[in-house]
C-alpha cells in the first residue's frame, strides 16, 4: 500500500487548528515542515505532499494554506530528510515550460530521484490576477495547455542524456552530441532546447495529477502516474479507476503505469463515538446538527423541506462541468450517492474537505483502508491529517503498526527512487 501525507499549513481542515499543538507562526517556519517530514519519515510514508496556489487567500476567518513555495521548501527538506519523496504542486498555466522542466529536473537530481510533480491547471481567478491582466483561461484551454506543457517537458527532460555519449577524446570535455535541440513548435509553446540539465535519476520526475473533470481525466490518462482524487466509496472508486484506465488505453497508453492514490481524512478515537465527536469539533460545526446545517448550506438545499434521514438523489449533487471552481473536488459526493443509498445524516460522516472520511479506532480505520486496497480499487492513499503534527503522529503511532502487522505496508524504506517504490518503469 502506497501512502503519501499532505503537510500544508496547520493540517488539512481549516477549523481544526484550535485543537492542535504548536504555534500559529509554524506555517511560515521551515523547521516546522522539517519536523512534519521527519514524523512522516518515521511512518515510512512514500512521500509528503504540498498542494499549492500562487496566491494568498486573505479571508479574515480563514488561514493561509499555501505559503513557502513548495519547490523551494521540498528542496530544503530533501537535503534534510532521507528516503522520503516529495509531491510538489506546480501550475502549468502560470509557469514557463523551460523553467519548469529545468527546476523540477534539478530537484529530482538534488534529491536523488525523490520528486513527484503534481501538475495543476489553476482554477482560481486570484491566481490569474498575480500573473497579468488577462482573465483565467477557460478550463478546456488550461487542460490543453497542461497536456502540451507535459509533452514538451518530457522532450526537454530527455534532450540531454549523457548515456548517449560516445567515447570522449582526452582533449575534449564532453560529447556535445549527447544533447539535442527539441525544436518544439506547438499551439501554446515554442521552445528550442536542449535543456541544460541532464536526464535525472528517475529519467524524469514522476507525474501526479488531480483533476477529475473531463479535461482532468484526459490529462491523467495521457500523463498521470499518481492520480490524486476524491474516492468516497468502493464502487465509486472502481468506476473512477476504470474511467481513467480506459481513457489511457484509448490513447494507446499502457494503464499499468497508473496508481490511484485518493485523499483520505482519518479521525481516530478510542471509540467510534469519540471519533464522531472529534469530527464535529475539527470540522468547526460543533455537532451533528451543525454538520447537517453545513450540508444544507453548501449544497443550496431547501431548508424547509429538508429531511436528514431521507435518501439523497445523486443527480442533485453532480457539479456543473463549466463551473469556475475545481470540478473534480465536487464529483466525489455525487459518485458516492450514485453508488450507495445514503441519507444526509450518513453522508456528512463519509467525507470531510471533499475527501473520504474514516472515523473510528485505529483497527477500524486500518480495516477500511485495506478494504479498498486489497481488491485493487485504490493503490494507496494520500492522508490529509486534520491537524498537523498531531494527527500525523497519531496515525504513525497507531495505524501504521496495524498495517505492518497485516503485511500490507513495509517495515523499512525499499528502493532508491519513487519509481522503484511505486513500481513504475523508467522512461526510455
Binding-site ranges for its own copies (CB under 8 A): 10, 17-18, 24-25, 28, 30, 53-56, 58-64, 66-69, 71-73, 75-80, 94-96, 98-99, 102-103, 106-107, 109-110, 126, 129-133, 160, 162, 168, 171-177, 179, 185, 189-198
The closest of 382, 365, 392 to 422, measured between CA atoms, is 382
Nearest approach, Cβ of 216 to its own copies (angstroms)?
Answer: 23
Based on CB atoms, which residue is closest to its own copies, 75 or 382?
A: 75
Nearest approach, Cβ of 145 to its own copies (angstroms)?
Answer: 14
* Cα gap 333→231, rounded to integer Å: 8
Nearest approach, Cβ of 114 to its own copies (angstroms)?
Answer: 12
Nearest approach, Cβ of 198 to its own copies (angstroms)?
Answer: 5
Based on CB atoms, which residue is closest to its own copies, 142 or 245?
A: 142
* Cα gap 249→400, rounded to integer Å: 35
Query: Buried (b) or exposed (e) across 109-129, using 16+ Cβ within 10 A?
Result: bebebbbbbbbbbbbbeebbe
Residue 137 class from Cβ within 10 Å (0-12 exposed, 13-18 middle, 19+ buried)?
middle
* Cα gap 205→88, rounded to integer Å: 10
DSSP letters of 216-280? Answer: HHHHHHHH-SEE-----SHHHHHHHHHHHHHHHHHTT--GGG-EE--EEEEEE-SSHHHHHHHHH
Nearest approach, Cβ of 294 to its own copies (angstroms)?
Answer: 18
Based on CB atoms, which residue is closest to its own copies, 76 or 408?
A: 76
Residue 307 is placed in which grid cell? 429531511
Based on CB atoms, which residue is closest to its own copies, 198 or 257?
A: 198
Q: What is the largest CA-CA distance in the chain?
A: 85
Based on CB atoms, which residue is closest to its own copies, 163 or 303?
A: 163
Nearest approach, Cβ of 176 to its own copies (angstroms)?
Answer: 5
Residue 276 is placed in which grid cell? 464522531
Nearest approach, Cβ of 22 to its own copies (angstroms)?
Answer: 12
Based on CB atoms, which residue is closest to its own copies, 136 or 365?
A: 136
Based on CB atoms, which residue is closest to its own copies, 61 or 428?
A: 61
Residue 386 is placed in which grid cell? 486534520
Omega before 333 within 30 of 0, i.e. cis:
no
- The answer to the question of whether 89 is labelled as a binding residue is yes
Tell the residue number behind the cell numbers 459518485, with chain if given: 335
Nearest approach, Cβ of 69 to its own copies (angstroms)?
Answer: 4
- The answer to the question of whether 143 is labelled as a binding residue is yes
> Residue 134: how many CB atoms within 10 A of its CB?
8
Based on CB atoms, which residue is closest to its own copies, 192 or 273?
A: 192
* Cα gap 154→174, rounded to integer Å: 23
C-alpha distances in Å from residue 358, one per residue of 119, 238, 381: 27, 18, 12
Based on CB atoms, which residue is closest to its own copies, 101 or 366?
A: 101
The closest of 275, 280, 282 to 13, measured between CA atoms, is 282
Nearest approach, Cβ of 33 to its own copies (angstroms)?
Answer: 9
Residue 62 class from Cβ within 10 Å (0-12 exposed, 13-18 middle, 19+ buried)?
exposed
Identify whether the C-beta of residue 403 lies closer than 8 Å to the C-beta of residue 366.
yes
Which residues are part of a known binding site? Answer: 52, 89, 143, 213
> Per the annotation, where are the binding residues for FMN?
52, 89, 143, 213
Amino acid at each position: 500500500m502506497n501512502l503519501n501525507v499532505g503537510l500544508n499549513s496547520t493540517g488539512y481542515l481549516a477549523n481544526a487548528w484550535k485543537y492542535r499543538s504548536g504555534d500559529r507562526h509554524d506555517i511560515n517556519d521551515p523547521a516546522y515542515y522539517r519536523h512534519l517530514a521527519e514524523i512522516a519519515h518515521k511512518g515510512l510514508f512514500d512521500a509528503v505532499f504540498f498542494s499549492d496556489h500562487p496566491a494568498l487567500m486573505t479571508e479574515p476567518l480563514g488561514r493561509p494554506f499555501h505559503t513557502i513555495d513548495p519547490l523551494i521548501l521540498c528542496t530544503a527538506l530533501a537535503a534534510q530528510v532521507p528516503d522520503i519523496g516529495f509531491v510538489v504542486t506546480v501550475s502549468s498555466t502560470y509557469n514557463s515550460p523551460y523553467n519548469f522542466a529545468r527546476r523540477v529536473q534539478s530537484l529530482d537530481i538534488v534529491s536523488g530521484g525523490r520528486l513527484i510533480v503534481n501538475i495543476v491547471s489553476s482554477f482560481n481567478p486570484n491566481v490569474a490576477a498575480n500573473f497579468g491582466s488577462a482573465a483565467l483561461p477557460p478550463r478546456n484551454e488550461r487542460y490543453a495547455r497542461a497536456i502540451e506543457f507535459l509533452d514538451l517537458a518530457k522532450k526537454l527532460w530527455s534532450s540531454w542524456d549523457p548515456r548517449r555519449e560516445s567515447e570522449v577524446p582526452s582533449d575534449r570535455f564532453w560529447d556535445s552530441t549527447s544533447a539535442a535541440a527539441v525544436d518544439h513548435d506547438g499551439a501554446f509553446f515554442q521552445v528550442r532546447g536542449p535543456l541544460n540539465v541532464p536526464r535525472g535519476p528517475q529519467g524524469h520526475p514522476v507525474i501526479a495529477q488531480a483533476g477529475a473533470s473531463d479535461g482532468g481525466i484526459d490529462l491523467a490518462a495521457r500523463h498521470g502516474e499518481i492520480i490524486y482524487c476524491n474516492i468516497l466509496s468502493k464502487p465509486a472508486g472502481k468506476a473512477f479507476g476504470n474511467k481513467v484506465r480506459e481513457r489511457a488505453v484509448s490513447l494507446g497508453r499502457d494503464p499499468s503505469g497508473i496508481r490511484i492514490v485518493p485523499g483520505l481524512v482519518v479521525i481516530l478515537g478510542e471509540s467510534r463515538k469519540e471519533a464522531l465527536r472529534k469530527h464535529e469539533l475539527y470540522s468547526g460545526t460543533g455537532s451533528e446538527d451543525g454538520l447537517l446545517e453545513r450540508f444544507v448550506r453548501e449544497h443550496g438545499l431547501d431548508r424547509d423541506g429538508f429531511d436528514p434521514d431521507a435518501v439523497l438523489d445523486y443527480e442533485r449533487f453532480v457539479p456543473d462541468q463549466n463551473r469556475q471552481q475545481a470540478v473534480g473536488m465536487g464529483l466525489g459526493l455525487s459518485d458516492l450517492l450514485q453508488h450507495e443509498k445514503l441519507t444526509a445524516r450518513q453522508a456528512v460522516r463519509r467525507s470531510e474537505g471533499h475527501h473520504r472520511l474514516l472515523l473510528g479506532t485505529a483497527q477500524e480505520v486500518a480495516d477500511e483502508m485495506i478494504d479498498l486496497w486489497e481488491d485493487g480499487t485504490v493503490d494507496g492513499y494520500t492522508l490529509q491529517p486534520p491537524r498537523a503534527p498531531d494527527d500525523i503522529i497519531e496515525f504513525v503511532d497507531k495505524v501504521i503498526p496495524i498495517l505492518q502487522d497485516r503485511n500490507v505496508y513495509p517495515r523499512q524504506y525499499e528502493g532508491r527512487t519513487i519509481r522503484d517504490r511505486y513500481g513504475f518503469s523508467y522512461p526510455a
